[in-house]
Amino acid sequence: MKTEGRNAVLELLKTDKTVEKLLLERGAEGSLGRIFAMAREKGIRVQFVSREALDRESREKRHQGVIAFTTDYEYADLYDIFSEKESSLVILCDGIEDVHNLGSVIRVAECAGADGVVIPKVRGASVTEAVIRISAGAAEHMKVAKVASLNAAIETLKDRGYWVYALEAGGESIYDCDLRGKVALVVGGEDSGVKRLTRETCDKVLSLPLFGKVNSLNASVALGIAAYEVVRARLTKG
């Protein structure tokens, strides 16, 4: 879905609707500067393009130097994800910006039987058509909540009886942890990993042993291993 024109885009940015990206005309001034500032504050991706490129995107060429792209994806509420079951799995994404990784994370979560995925409103990828496609359609079946504060969501999960674990280097081996019951796994961004404050908010940091020369796994790969350790713990008797 596209929103065109300076006033229309300004009003859009005042709402809580998810804006995937903005196209801004190169060198434009005036109210476009305010639009750019608001977009940056909200963590929205901004791409500077020529007027010709904007004309190609606009049917009636009434863009006034700016076009916003929004998503039609319907996000769940955080409280829709909580489960009253004895066992539950929730995935939280801390700054995953690559749509391929987010799509893969959602696919892993759905295959592992997770009750939901939590993503931040800013500084993280949103559920777009590309994410849905990369997830092989899993995003259509998985509840995804978008929250203003990931750390506040973690505290809420803990209040609901979840043990929250950050997947990060330097922690306890995941193979030494009891992963039965209500579990939430936090997976970090491609470059920064799980942020320090987020790690401190979690109950524990869990790590996967690495035996090669590369010092980290792709976010979705690490999550896949960890999520299926939770599945294994559920299926193991005793």
Per-residue pLDDT of the chain (238 residues), as tens digits, is 788 888 888 888 888 778 889 999 998 778 899 999 999 999 899 999 999 999 998 877 889 999 998 877 889 999 999 988 889 999 999 989 999 999 999 999 999 999 999 999 988 899 887 888 888 888 888 999 999 999 999 999 999 999 999 999 889 999 999 999 999 999 998 778 899 999 999 999 999 998 988 878 889 999 999 999 999 999 986 5
Question: How much is the pLDDT for 237?
Answer: 63
**Token pair belonging to 56:** 């190609």
The residue assigned the tokens 């790969």 is 221
Question: How much is the pLDDT for 22?
Answer: 94
Facing residues of 2 across strands?
69
Residue-range domains of the chain with CATH: 2-70 (3.30.1330.30), 78-235 (3.40.1280.10)
Ordered strands of the 204-207 beta sheet? 144-147, 116-120, 88-94, 182-188, 163-173, 204-207
pTM of the shown model: 0.76
Question: How much is the pLDDT for 238?
Answer: 56
Element (H, E) at 7: helix 6-13
Helices and strands of the chain, counted as H and E runs: 9, 10
Question: Are the CB atoms for 2 and 72 separated by under 8 Å?
Answer: no
